[in-house]
């Protein structure tokens, strides 16, 4: 899978929508780690069943030997979602759209990746979850 630094302009596939990259990690590139609010993880799982920009190929996690991680996602968290072959997209209140590989869920839960706060707010907002209380993101 290609590596793109967080918050750079999306270029993985052609799209009419301008987007920013988040979570396109690679083993030889350092990434921010930390504790991510459960609401962010729940929101990503809820959005994952949309399988945005699904590709034919599968990207395995390059940080461990897990083959095709699977999670329970979708609005009711009862849909099996295979990670590694689609993206998750989210839009913030200002209209900025973010694109992350759906492996970002695995990166957060298994490899302590902490995405940019702008992205975290956007996914919770896009999933229609309560954003009254500020998200917890700690190093």
Using the minimum distance from each CB to Zn ion, give the nearer residue, 101 or 126.
101
Contact assessment for residue 47 and residue 90, using Cβ atoms and an 8 Å cutoff: yes
116 CB-near residues (< 8 Å, 6+ apart): 6, 7, 22
To Zn ion, the closest distance from the beta carbon of 31 in angstroms equals 12
Residues in contact with Zn ion by CB under 5 A are 61, 63-64, 66, 110
To Zn ion, the closest distance from the beta carbon of 63 in angstroms equals 4
Cα–Cα distance for residue pair 53/97, rounded to 1 Å: 14
Using the minimum distance from each CB to Zn ion, give the nearer residue, 108 or 124.
108
Q: Which residue shows structure tokens 């990207």?
A: 59
To Zn ion, the closest distance from the beta carbon of 2 in angstroms equals 17
**Which tokens is 44 given?**
């990503």
Using the minimum distance from each CB to Zn ion, give the nearer residue, 25 or 127.
25
């Amino acid at each position: 899978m290609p590596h793109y630094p967080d918050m750079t302009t999306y270029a993985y596939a052609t799209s009419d929508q301008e987007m920013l990259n988040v979570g396109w990690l690679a083993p030889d590139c350092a990434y921010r780690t930390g504790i991510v609010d459960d609401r962010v993880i729940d929101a990503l799982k809820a959005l994952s069943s949309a399988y945005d920009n699904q590709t034919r190929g599968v990207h395995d996690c390059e940080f461990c030997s897990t083959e095709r991680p699977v999670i329970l996602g979708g609005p009711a968290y009862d849909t099996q979602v295979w990670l590694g072959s689609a993206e998750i997209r989210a839009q913030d209140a200002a209209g900025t759209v973010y694109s992350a590989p759906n492996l970002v869920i695995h990166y957060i839960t298994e490899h302590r990746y902490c995405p940019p706060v702008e992205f975290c707010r956007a996914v919770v907002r896009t999933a229609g979850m309560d954003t009254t209380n500020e998200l917890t993101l700690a190093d």
